Amino acid sequence: MSEVLRLPKGFKASSLEVGVRYEGRLDVGLIASDPPAAAAACFTENAIKAAPVRIGIERFLEKMGQVELSALIVNSGNANACTGRQGLESTQLILDALSSALGVSGDQVLMSSTGVIGEPLPHEKIIRAIPGLVDGLSEEGLLGVAQAILTTDTREKVVSRKIAMERGEATMVGIAKGAGMIAPKMAAPHATMLAFILTDAAVEHETLQRLLSMAVDASFNRITVDGDTSTNDTVFLLANGASGTAPLDMASGPDLERFKEALFGVSKELARMIVRDGEGATKVVEIVVRGGWSLEEARDCAVAIANSPLVKTAFFGEDPNWGRIVAAAGKAGHPLIEEALTLWIGDVLLVTNGEFQGKDQEARAHEVMKRDEFTVTLEIGTGDYQYSMLTTDLTKDYVSINADYRS
Protein backbone atom coordinates (compact mmCIF):
# COMPACT_ATOMS: atom_id res chain seq x y z
CA MET A 1 0.00 0.00 0.00
CA SER A 2 2.89 2.41 0.69
CA GLU A 3 3.96 2.15 -2.97
CA VAL A 4 0.45 3.10 -4.13
CA LEU A 5 0.36 6.10 -1.78
CA ARG A 6 3.74 7.59 -2.68
CA LEU A 7 3.09 11.12 -3.88
CA PRO A 8 4.74 12.43 -7.05
CA LYS A 9 7.70 14.76 -6.49
CA GLY A 10 6.79 18.24 -5.34
CA PHE A 11 3.41 17.27 -3.91
CA LYS A 12 2.41 17.10 -0.25
CA ALA A 13 -0.92 16.48 1.45
CA SER A 14 -2.62 16.67 4.84
CA SER A 15 -6.04 16.16 6.41
CA LEU A 16 -7.91 16.98 9.62
CA GLU A 17 -11.13 16.27 11.45
CA VAL A 18 -12.86 19.65 11.39
CA GLY A 19 -16.48 18.75 12.21
CA VAL A 20 -18.05 20.13 9.04
CA ARG A 21 -20.99 17.79 9.64
CA TYR A 22 -19.88 14.67 11.48
CA GLU A 23 -17.59 13.88 14.38
CA GLY A 24 -14.90 11.24 14.62
CA ARG A 25 -13.84 11.30 10.97
CA LEU A 26 -11.48 13.22 8.71
CA ASP A 27 -13.44 15.72 6.64
CA VAL A 28 -11.04 18.34 5.22
CA GLY A 29 -8.01 17.62 3.04
CA LEU A 30 -5.30 19.74 1.46
CA ILE A 31 -3.09 18.95 -1.54
CA ALA A 32 -0.19 21.31 -2.24
CA SER A 33 2.42 21.50 -4.99
CA ASP A 34 5.79 23.23 -5.05
CA PRO A 35 6.45 24.20 -7.81
CA PRO A 36 2.95 25.30 -8.84
CA ALA A 37 1.31 22.78 -11.15
CA ALA A 38 -0.27 23.24 -14.54
CA ALA A 39 -3.94 22.42 -14.02
CA ALA A 40 -6.70 20.90 -16.12
CA ALA A 41 -10.24 20.32 -14.93
CA CYS A 42 -13.59 18.88 -15.91
CA PHE A 43 -16.70 20.08 -14.06
CA THR A 44 -20.31 18.92 -13.85
CA GLU A 45 -22.73 19.74 -16.66
CA ASN A 46 -25.61 19.90 -14.19
CA ALA A 47 -27.25 23.31 -14.63
CA ILE A 48 -27.24 23.67 -10.83
CA LYS A 49 -23.60 23.94 -9.79
CA ALA A 50 -22.07 24.12 -6.32
CA ALA A 51 -20.25 27.30 -5.28
CA PRO A 52 -16.70 25.87 -5.59
CA VAL A 53 -17.55 24.53 -9.05
CA ARG A 54 -18.80 27.95 -10.16
CA ILE A 55 -15.62 29.58 -8.90
CA GLY A 56 -13.48 26.91 -10.57
CA ILE A 57 -15.19 27.36 -13.93
CA GLU A 58 -14.82 31.14 -13.68
CA ARG A 59 -11.11 30.78 -12.90
CA PHE A 60 -10.45 28.57 -15.93
CA LEU A 61 -12.40 30.91 -18.19
CA GLU A 62 -10.60 33.99 -16.86
CA LYS A 63 -7.21 32.35 -17.37
CA MET A 64 -8.21 30.93 -20.78
CA GLY A 65 -7.18 27.49 -19.54
CA GLN A 66 -3.71 28.62 -18.42
CA VAL A 67 -4.32 27.85 -14.73
CA GLU A 68 -1.49 27.05 -12.33
CA LEU A 69 -2.31 25.76 -8.86
CA SER A 70 -0.30 25.61 -5.67
CA ALA A 71 -3.07 23.98 -3.65
CA LEU A 72 -6.48 22.34 -3.65
CA ILE A 73 -8.59 22.18 -0.49
CA VAL A 74 -11.55 19.83 -0.23
CA ASN A 75 -14.22 19.12 2.37
CA SER A 76 -16.83 16.42 2.84
CA GLY A 77 -20.13 16.56 4.75
CA ASN A 78 -21.41 19.69 2.99
CA ALA A 79 -21.67 20.20 -0.77
CA ASN A 80 -21.98 24.00 -0.55
CA ALA A 81 -24.54 23.69 -3.35
CA CYS A 82 -27.81 25.63 -3.63
CA THR A 83 -26.39 28.09 -1.10
CA GLY A 84 -26.53 31.25 -3.24
CA ARG A 85 -24.30 34.25 -2.64
CA GLN A 86 -23.47 33.01 0.85
CA GLY A 87 -21.96 29.83 -0.60
CA LEU A 88 -19.76 31.77 -3.00
CA GLU A 89 -18.61 34.08 -0.21
CA SER A 90 -17.83 31.13 2.08
CA THR A 91 -15.71 29.49 -0.61
CA GLN A 92 -13.85 32.71 -1.33
CA LEU A 93 -13.14 33.34 2.37
CA ILE A 94 -11.60 29.85 2.63
CA LEU A 95 -9.50 30.38 -0.51
CA ASP A 96 -8.29 33.76 0.74
CA ALA A 97 -7.23 32.24 4.07
CA LEU A 98 -5.49 29.35 2.31
CA SER A 99 -3.53 31.51 -0.13
CA SER A 100 -2.42 33.74 2.76
CA ALA A 101 -1.30 30.77 4.88
CA LEU A 102 0.69 29.31 1.98
CA GLY A 103 2.08 32.65 0.83
CA VAL A 104 0.84 32.17 -2.75
CA SER A 105 -1.31 34.18 -5.12
CA GLY A 106 -5.07 33.92 -4.66
CA ASP A 107 -5.48 32.63 -8.21
CA GLN A 108 -3.32 29.59 -7.38
CA VAL A 109 -5.79 27.90 -5.00
CA LEU A 110 -9.15 26.24 -5.64
CA MET A 111 -11.66 24.20 -3.66
CA SER A 112 -13.97 21.20 -3.99
CA SER A 113 -16.82 20.17 -1.70
CA THR A 114 -19.05 17.13 -1.32
CA GLY A 115 -21.90 16.19 0.98
CA VAL A 116 -25.38 17.43 1.81
CA ILE A 117 -26.93 19.91 -0.63
CA GLY A 118 -28.71 23.08 0.47
CA GLU A 119 -27.07 23.75 3.83
CA PRO A 120 -24.69 26.67 4.55
CA LEU A 121 -21.03 25.69 4.67
CA PRO A 122 -19.51 26.31 8.13
CA HIS A 123 -16.53 28.09 6.61
CA GLU A 124 -15.28 29.35 9.97
CA LYS A 125 -14.44 25.79 11.02
CA ILE A 126 -12.43 25.20 7.86
CA ILE A 127 -10.61 28.53 8.09
CA ARG A 128 -9.59 27.77 11.68
CA ALA A 129 -8.17 24.45 10.49
CA ILE A 130 -6.04 25.88 7.68
CA PRO A 131 -2.89 26.59 9.76
CA GLY A 132 -2.94 22.99 11.01
CA LEU A 133 -3.45 21.67 7.49
CA VAL A 134 -0.50 23.68 6.20
CA ASP A 135 1.73 22.63 9.09
CA GLY A 136 0.74 19.00 8.56
CA LEU A 137 1.64 18.82 4.86
CA SER A 138 3.79 15.77 4.15
CA GLU A 139 4.73 13.36 1.41
CA GLU A 140 2.82 10.63 3.28
CA GLY A 141 -0.46 12.57 3.62
CA LEU A 142 -2.42 11.32 0.62
CA LEU A 143 -4.30 8.49 2.32
CA GLY A 144 -5.72 10.97 4.83
CA VAL A 145 -7.08 13.13 1.99
CA ALA A 146 -8.55 10.02 0.32
CA GLN A 147 -10.37 9.35 3.59
CA ALA A 148 -11.39 12.97 4.17
CA ILE A 149 -13.33 13.19 0.90
CA LEU A 150 -15.55 10.17 1.60
CA THR A 151 -19.29 10.48 2.32
CA THR A 152 -21.31 7.28 1.94
CA ASP A 153 -18.27 5.52 0.48
CA THR A 154 -17.08 2.42 2.31
CA ARG A 155 -13.41 2.62 1.28
CA GLU A 156 -10.70 4.90 -0.05
CA LYS A 157 -10.00 4.90 -3.77
CA VAL A 158 -6.32 5.37 -4.65
CA VAL A 159 -4.41 4.39 -7.82
CA SER A 160 -0.82 5.03 -8.92
CA ARG A 161 1.35 4.51 -12.00
CA LYS A 162 5.02 4.88 -12.87
CA ILE A 163 5.67 6.35 -16.32
CA ALA A 164 8.96 5.47 -18.01
CA MET A 165 10.08 8.32 -20.27
CA GLU A 166 13.13 9.02 -22.40
CA ARG A 167 14.59 11.41 -19.80
CA GLY A 168 13.65 9.54 -16.64
CA GLU A 169 10.59 8.41 -14.77
CA ALA A 170 7.44 10.27 -13.79
CA THR A 171 4.79 9.28 -11.23
CA MET A 172 1.02 9.65 -11.38
CA VAL A 173 -1.34 9.17 -8.42
CA GLY A 174 -5.12 9.54 -8.38
CA ILE A 175 -7.67 9.57 -5.58
CA ALA A 176 -11.45 9.66 -5.89
CA LYS A 177 -14.68 9.53 -3.96
CA GLY A 178 -18.13 8.48 -5.05
CA ALA A 179 -20.76 5.92 -4.12
CA GLY A 180 -24.12 7.53 -4.84
CA MET A 181 -25.52 10.37 -6.95
CA ILE A 182 -23.28 8.93 -9.64
CA ALA A 183 -23.96 9.51 -13.30
CA PRO A 184 -21.25 12.02 -14.17
CA LYS A 185 -21.65 14.29 -17.18
CA MET A 186 -18.52 16.39 -17.34
CA ALA A 187 -17.08 18.77 -19.88
CA ALA A 188 -13.98 20.88 -19.98
CA PRO A 189 -14.23 23.06 -18.08
CA HIS A 190 -17.86 23.76 -17.78
CA ALA A 191 -17.89 16.80 -13.83
CA THR A 192 -21.28 13.29 -5.92
CA MET A 193 -17.98 12.33 -7.73
CA LEU A 194 -14.61 13.89 -7.08
CA ALA A 195 -11.21 12.86 -8.46
CA PHE A 196 -7.77 14.41 -8.08
CA ILE A 197 -4.96 13.16 -10.32
CA LEU A 198 -1.42 14.33 -9.59
CA THR A 199 1.74 13.89 -11.64
CA ASP A 200 5.29 15.19 -11.55
CA ALA A 201 5.50 15.06 -15.35
CA ALA A 202 5.70 18.37 -17.22
CA VAL A 203 2.77 18.89 -19.60
CA GLU A 204 1.77 21.94 -21.64
CA HIS A 205 -1.61 23.37 -20.52
CA GLU A 206 -3.60 22.78 -23.71
CA THR A 207 -2.30 19.22 -24.00
CA LEU A 208 -3.09 18.54 -20.34
CA GLN A 209 -6.69 19.69 -20.75
CA ARG A 210 -7.17 17.81 -24.00
CA LEU A 211 -5.88 14.56 -22.51
CA LEU A 212 -7.98 14.93 -19.34
CA SER A 213 -11.14 15.56 -21.36
CA MET A 214 -10.46 12.43 -23.40
CA ALA A 215 -9.74 10.37 -20.27
CA VAL A 216 -12.88 11.58 -18.50
CA ASP A 217 -14.99 10.72 -21.56
CA ALA A 218 -13.56 7.19 -21.57
CA SER A 219 -13.94 6.61 -17.82
CA PHE A 220 -15.92 8.77 -15.39
CA ASN A 221 -18.53 9.72 -18.00
CA ARG A 222 -19.20 6.01 -18.58
CA ILE A 223 -20.29 5.04 -15.08
CA THR A 224 -23.60 5.24 -13.27
CA VAL A 225 -24.94 4.12 -9.93
CA ASP A 226 -28.33 5.83 -9.86
CA GLY A 227 -28.57 8.06 -12.91
CA ASP A 228 -28.30 11.32 -10.94
CA THR A 229 -25.68 13.85 -12.02
CA SER A 230 -24.28 15.74 -9.04
CA THR A 231 -23.99 19.48 -8.56
CA ASN A 232 -20.35 19.01 -7.51
CA ASP A 233 -18.73 16.47 -9.85
CA THR A 234 -15.14 17.57 -10.53
CA VAL A 235 -11.92 16.04 -11.83
CA PHE A 236 -8.63 17.90 -11.46
CA LEU A 237 -5.36 16.92 -13.15
CA LEU A 238 -2.24 18.66 -11.83
CA ALA A 239 1.19 18.36 -13.48
CA ASN A 240 4.09 20.17 -11.77
CA GLY A 241 7.10 18.98 -13.82
CA ALA A 242 9.16 18.17 -10.72
CA SER A 243 10.32 14.83 -12.18
CA GLY A 244 12.61 16.64 -14.62
CA THR A 245 11.26 14.70 -17.59
CA ALA A 246 10.92 16.47 -20.94
CA PRO A 247 7.85 18.73 -21.27
CA LEU A 248 5.02 17.11 -23.18
CA ASP A 249 2.81 18.55 -25.90
CA MET A 250 0.64 16.93 -28.55
CA ALA A 251 3.73 16.32 -30.74
CA SER A 252 5.78 14.53 -28.07
CA GLY A 253 5.58 11.07 -29.61
CA PRO A 254 6.26 7.97 -27.46
CA ASP A 255 6.47 9.89 -24.16
CA LEU A 256 3.04 11.40 -24.76
CA GLU A 257 1.59 7.97 -25.51
CA ARG A 258 3.03 6.58 -22.28
CA PHE A 259 1.58 9.49 -20.31
CA LYS A 260 -1.80 9.09 -22.01
CA GLU A 261 -1.83 5.35 -21.26
CA ALA A 262 -1.14 6.04 -17.57
CA LEU A 263 -3.80 8.75 -17.37
CA PHE A 264 -6.44 6.58 -19.02
CA GLY A 265 -5.47 3.65 -16.79
CA VAL A 266 -5.71 5.67 -13.57
CA SER A 267 -9.01 7.24 -14.62
CA LYS A 268 -10.63 3.96 -15.63
CA GLU A 269 -9.48 2.18 -12.47
CA LEU A 270 -10.78 4.97 -10.23
CA ALA A 271 -14.09 5.00 -12.12
CA ARG A 272 -14.46 1.25 -11.67
CA MET A 273 -13.70 1.60 -7.94
CA ILE A 274 -16.54 4.12 -7.67
CA VAL A 275 -19.01 1.71 -9.26
CA ARG A 276 -17.77 -1.19 -7.16
CA ASP A 277 -18.39 0.94 -4.06
CA GLY A 278 -21.83 2.10 -5.23
CA GLU A 279 -24.34 2.63 -2.45
CA GLY A 280 -25.74 -0.77 -1.49
CA ALA A 281 -24.35 -2.36 -4.65
CA THR A 282 -23.59 -6.07 -4.81
CA LYS A 283 -22.73 -6.28 -8.52
CA VAL A 284 -20.75 -4.41 -11.18
CA VAL A 285 -22.27 -4.85 -14.63
CA GLU A 286 -20.76 -3.70 -17.92
CA ILE A 287 -23.38 -2.79 -20.51
CA VAL A 288 -22.07 -3.07 -24.08
CA VAL A 289 -24.21 -1.93 -27.00
CA ARG A 290 -22.83 -2.92 -30.39
CA GLY A 291 -23.90 -2.33 -33.98
CA GLY A 292 -25.28 1.19 -33.65
CA TRP A 293 -25.74 3.30 -36.76
CA SER A 294 -24.09 6.15 -34.83
CA LEU A 295 -22.11 6.57 -31.64
CA GLU A 296 -25.03 8.57 -30.26
CA GLU A 297 -27.45 5.67 -30.83
CA ALA A 298 -25.13 3.14 -29.18
CA ARG A 299 -24.45 5.51 -26.27
CA ASP A 300 -28.10 6.42 -25.67
CA CYS A 301 -29.14 2.76 -25.63
CA ALA A 302 -26.31 1.81 -23.24
CA VAL A 303 -27.15 4.68 -20.87
CA ALA A 304 -30.86 3.83 -20.92
CA ILE A 305 -30.14 0.21 -19.98
CA ALA A 306 -27.56 1.15 -17.34
CA ASN A 307 -29.93 3.59 -15.61
CA SER A 308 -33.16 1.56 -15.81
CA PRO A 309 -34.48 0.76 -12.29
CA LEU A 310 -36.24 -2.31 -13.68
CA VAL A 311 -33.05 -3.62 -15.25
CA LYS A 312 -30.98 -2.86 -12.15
CA THR A 313 -33.43 -4.61 -9.81
CA ALA A 314 -33.33 -7.62 -12.14
CA PHE A 315 -29.55 -7.62 -11.73
CA PHE A 316 -30.03 -7.64 -7.95
CA GLY A 317 -32.48 -10.53 -8.24
CA GLU A 318 -30.11 -12.37 -10.63
CA ASP A 319 -33.05 -12.60 -13.01
CA PRO A 320 -32.19 -12.72 -16.74
CA ASN A 321 -35.29 -10.72 -17.60
CA TRP A 322 -34.18 -9.86 -21.10
CA GLY A 323 -37.44 -8.09 -21.95
CA ARG A 324 -36.55 -5.34 -19.49
CA ILE A 325 -33.16 -4.86 -21.17
CA VAL A 326 -34.45 -4.51 -24.72
CA ALA A 327 -37.36 -2.36 -23.55
CA ALA A 328 -34.91 0.01 -21.86
CA ALA A 329 -32.92 0.25 -25.10
CA GLY A 330 -36.13 0.87 -27.01
CA LYS A 331 -37.05 3.93 -24.93
CA ALA A 332 -33.78 5.69 -25.85
CA GLY A 333 -35.47 7.39 -28.80
CA HIS A 334 -33.88 5.58 -31.75
CA PRO A 335 -35.66 3.45 -34.40
CA LEU A 336 -34.54 -0.01 -33.27
CA ILE A 337 -35.72 -3.09 -35.14
CA GLU A 338 -36.84 -5.89 -32.81
CA GLU A 339 -35.87 -8.61 -35.30
CA ALA A 340 -32.30 -7.30 -35.41
CA LEU A 341 -31.65 -7.54 -31.66
CA THR A 342 -29.25 -10.13 -30.24
CA LEU A 343 -28.47 -10.32 -26.53
CA TRP A 344 -25.81 -12.04 -24.43
CA ILE A 345 -25.45 -12.21 -20.66
CA GLY A 346 -21.81 -13.05 -20.14
CA ASP A 347 -21.11 -15.56 -22.91
CA VAL A 348 -24.64 -16.96 -22.84
CA LEU A 349 -26.66 -16.18 -25.98
CA LEU A 350 -30.14 -15.38 -24.70
CA VAL A 351 -31.82 -13.72 -27.69
CA THR A 352 -31.06 -14.10 -31.41
CA ASN A 353 -32.66 -11.80 -33.98
CA GLY A 354 -35.33 -10.87 -31.45
CA GLU A 355 -36.17 -14.47 -30.52
CA PHE A 356 -35.73 -15.92 -27.02
CA GLN A 357 -33.42 -18.94 -27.03
CA GLY A 358 -35.24 -20.94 -24.38
CA LYS A 359 -35.27 -21.84 -20.70
CA ASP A 360 -31.98 -23.75 -20.77
CA GLN A 361 -30.15 -20.62 -21.93
CA GLU A 362 -32.05 -18.58 -19.36
CA ALA A 363 -30.86 -20.94 -16.61
CA ARG A 364 -27.26 -20.55 -17.82
CA ALA A 365 -27.66 -16.75 -17.83
CA HIS A 366 -28.99 -16.91 -14.26
CA GLU A 367 -25.76 -18.66 -13.21
CA VAL A 368 -23.71 -15.89 -14.84
CA MET A 369 -25.70 -13.27 -12.93
CA LYS A 370 -24.72 -14.81 -9.61
CA ARG A 371 -21.21 -13.40 -10.15
CA ASP A 372 -20.09 -10.13 -8.59
CA GLU A 373 -19.20 -8.82 -12.05
CA PHE A 374 -20.55 -9.72 -15.49
CA THR A 375 -21.27 -8.20 -18.90
CA VAL A 376 -24.53 -7.65 -20.80
CA THR A 377 -24.04 -7.24 -24.55
CA LEU A 378 -26.80 -6.03 -26.87
CA GLU A 379 -26.27 -6.14 -30.64
CA ILE A 380 -28.76 -3.73 -32.24
CA GLY A 381 -27.78 -4.48 -35.82
CA THR A 382 -28.04 -1.08 -37.46
CA GLY A 383 -24.37 -0.17 -37.98
CA ASP A 384 -20.84 -0.47 -36.64
CA TYR A 385 -20.69 1.81 -33.58
CA GLN A 386 -20.22 0.56 -30.00
CA TYR A 387 -20.52 2.10 -26.54
CA SER A 388 -20.14 0.72 -23.03
CA MET A 389 -21.22 1.76 -19.53
CA LEU A 390 -20.50 0.44 -16.04
CA THR A 391 -23.49 0.19 -13.72
CA THR A 392 -24.61 -1.54 -10.53
CA ASP A 393 -27.61 -3.44 -9.30
CA LEU A 394 -30.30 -1.54 -7.37
CA THR A 395 -30.73 -2.95 -3.88
CA LYS A 396 -32.81 -2.46 -0.75
CA ASP A 397 -29.68 -1.09 0.94
CA TYR A 398 -29.49 1.71 -1.65
CA VAL A 399 -32.98 2.84 -0.66
CA SER A 400 -32.16 2.66 3.05
CA ILE A 401 -28.88 4.58 2.69
CA ASN A 402 -30.52 7.42 0.81
CA ALA A 403 -33.67 7.51 2.91
CA ASP A 404 -31.49 8.06 5.99
CA TYR A 405 -28.79 10.23 4.32
CA ARG A 406 -29.50 13.48 6.17
CA SER A 407 -30.36 11.95 9.54
For residues 240-269, b (16+ Cβ closer than 10 Å) or e, as one string?
A: bbbbebeebeeebeebbebbbebbebbbbb
9/201 Cα distance (integer angstroms): 9
**Omega prior to 254 cis, within 30 of 0:** no
DSSP string, 331-392: TTSS---GGG-EEEETTEEEEETTEE--HHHHHHHHHHTTSSEEEEEEE--SSSEEEEEEEE
For residue 289, CA distances in Å to 19, 55, 172 come to: 45, 37, 32
Q: What is the DSSP letter of 228?
A: P
Residue 372 phi, psi (nearest 5): -70, -30
Q: Which of 192, 231, 342, 377 is catalytic?
A: 192
Q: Are 156 and 200 in contact, with CB atoms under 8 Å apart?
A: no
Helices (H) and strands (E) in the chain, counts: 11, 15
25/47 Cα distance (integer angstroms): 31
Active site residue 391: no
Its sign, for the CA torsion 32, 5, 150, 58, is: positive
Where in the sequence numbering do the catalytic residues fall? 192
